[in-house]
Structure 1
Amino acid sequence: MTLRVDIWSDIACPWCYIGQSRFAKGMAEFEHADQVEVVWHSYQLDPTLPERFDGTEAEYLMQSKGLPKPQIDQMLGMVADAAAGEDLPIDFEAVVPANSLRAHYLLKTVARHGGDVDAAEHALFAAHFAHGEAISDDEVLVRIGTECGITAEQARAGLADETIADEVQADIATARSAGVSGVPFFVFGSKYAVSGAQPPELFLAALEKTWSELQPEKPAFITLDGAGGEACGPEGCD
């Protein structure tokens, strides 16, 4: 028996970076983790973002959100503190704001060729938030692909594959039709949804609840008293 968990995520989303870590901690406490199938889905917070924005993350957010710098700084500080609590380094001064579409192409390519998608997600998050690399850069993407179990040739081919692009757009369309308005977004067993980078305990509870409901129901018998019939059991017969 397998419990499927679908996760919509965007590499440009710091809470998705944090959410991946918290979900992994919940999974580590789940007794049946080896029977969980995690399926990552693409999502884009800002599909209009250029391949590489000429400015800092704070400048990009000020321009795109129309918020004053003190408010942006406060928001980024809160996120950085949450990431530090997960031992995830974030350097917003080094972040290169970049369109995440091609990063999603790589993730689909890694999945198609049997690579480690969880590792690729983490490596892309780290490249973007900790190492100041552009997640729209093909050389960065190919390197991460080869680190996560696929060949450079497979990575390059996937970045140019129209069927991969179609898969990414299908994920985004599914999220839109389901009313998903923010990420990370987790769906357990096609039944329970969890929105946001919740604490590990909540993810564990969702896994346990969904798993328990996947188990076949035990038959419930109604016992008629007064029959007094003889019977045999493990210790012998009456």
Structure 2
Amino acid sequence: MNVDIWSDIACPWCFIGKRRFEKALAAFPFKDQVTVTWHSFQLDPSLPEHYDGTELEYLSQRKGMQPAQVAQMFDHVTQVAAAEGLDYDFANIVVANSFPGHELIHLSAARGPAGAADAVKEALLSAHFEQGRNIGNREVLVEIGSAAGLAEEDITAALDGGTYRDAVRADIRQAQVLGIQGVPFFVLDNKYGISGAQPSELFAQALETAWRESNPLVMVGDRTHTDELNGEVCGPDGC
């Protein structure tokens, strides 16, 4: 079964959604047969490479919200994140354009070892929301990519040459075609869409539903299919 996830590195609910989905997937009996693919999405493509200001200042200016309202939002999201084992630090977030990070995720999926894309996604989210690191900084990207098993020269060449820029843009266009306007957004087997950082229980139900539809149970020995294989069974009313 395939699960496609659109998300942005600079999205606090995307990290929370990742944790909640992972919790559901870890308990899913057929988790080893589930392929997860990360897709790029940018909440603010217009962000410059470097922004001189805090996350609070950026959101206040970008969304026209009062600073006190933004601070209240930060407190709420921080509490929700903490319940998922995440330690958000909005005061030290470095506001940066996430596009190079998305390029790195595509590179890790194409050239890295198994699990590299998820490891890079995880590291970028943690660097941004928990560690106060600049996810647009080349040294940070090289460090994260190298830790996930990528060769430093491959990272540098891909980012310098824009090898995966078209792939990032293609993801964003596909999101538009699918009508995705917010992230995280999960698509299970190209049939079921889940918007937002939903509770783990909902993800678990969706995984079960999608799996059953793709892998219907074949009843061998059911007398409704053949009168020759009529094995006896016990039910609620007796045997």
TM-score, normalisation: structure 2: 0.90
Q: Which residue of 2 aligns with 1:42?
A: 40
How do residues 129-208 of structure 1 correspond to structure 2 at under 5 angstroms?
129-208=129-208
Kindly indicate whether the alpha-carbon contact (under 8 Å) linking 1:52 and 1:134 is maintained by their aligned counterparts in 2: no
Distance 2:149 2:67 in 1: 41
In the TM superposition, residue 89 of structure 1 has moved relative to its aligned partner by: 0.8
Letter in 1 for 2:61: Q
C-alpha change, 1:86 and 1:216, in structure 2 (3 Å) is closer
Q: Which residue of 2 aligns with 1:228?
A: none
| Residue identity (%) | 49
Q: Which residue of 2 aligns with 1:212?
A: 212
Q: Which residue of 2 aligns with 1:99?
A: 97
Letter in 2 for 1:4: N
Indicate yes or no: 2:108 matched with 1:71.
no
Name whichever of 158-167 and 188-197 sits farther off.
158-167
Distance 1:93 1:151 in 2: 33
Please give the per-residue CA displacement for 1:161-196, whole angstroms capped at 9, x wherever unaligned: 334100000000000111100000000010000010
Distance 1:153 1:89 in 2: 32
Distance 2:162 2:155 in 1: 13
Kindly indicate whether the alpha-carbon contact (under 8 Å) linking 2:223 and 2:230 is maintained by their aligned counterparts in 1: no
In the TM superposition, residue 216 of structure 1 has moved relative to its aligned partner by: 4.2
2:59 to 54, 58, 61: 61
Secondary structure of 1:40's aligned partner: strand
Distance 2:17 2:224 in 1: 46
In the TM superposition, residue 223 of structure 1 has moved relative to its aligned partner by: 7.2
Distance 2:31 2:9 in 1: 24
Secondary structure of 2:13's aligned partner: helix
Secondary structure of 1:159's aligned partner: helix
Secondary structure of 1:93's aligned partner: helix
TM-score, normalisation: structure 1: 0.90
In the TM superposition, residue 233 of structure 1 has moved relative to its aligned partner by: 8.0
Kindly indicate whether the alpha-carbon contact (under 8 Å) linking 2:142 and 2:156 is maintained by their aligned counterparts in 1: yes
Distance 2:225 2:213 in 1: 26
Please give the per-residue CA displacement for 1:68-115, whole angstroms capped at 9, x wherever unaligned: 011101111111011110111111010001000000011001111133
Aligned residues: 228
In the TM superposition, residue 160 of structure 1 has moved relative to its aligned partner by: 2.5
For structure 1, the 5+ residue unaligned runs are: 226-230
In the TM superposition, residue 53 of structure 1 has moved relative to its aligned partner by: 1.1
Secondary structure of 2:193's aligned partner: strand
Secondary structure of 2:10's aligned partner: coil
Kindly indicate whether the alpha-carbon contact (under 8 Å) linking 2:223 and 2:229 is maintained by their aligned counterparts in 1: no
How do residues 4-23 of structure 1 correspond to structure 2 at under 5 angstroms?
4-23=2-21
Letter in 2 for 1:70: A
In the TM superposition, residue 149 of structure 1 has moved relative to its aligned partner by: 1.4
RMSD across aligned positions (CA): 2.1
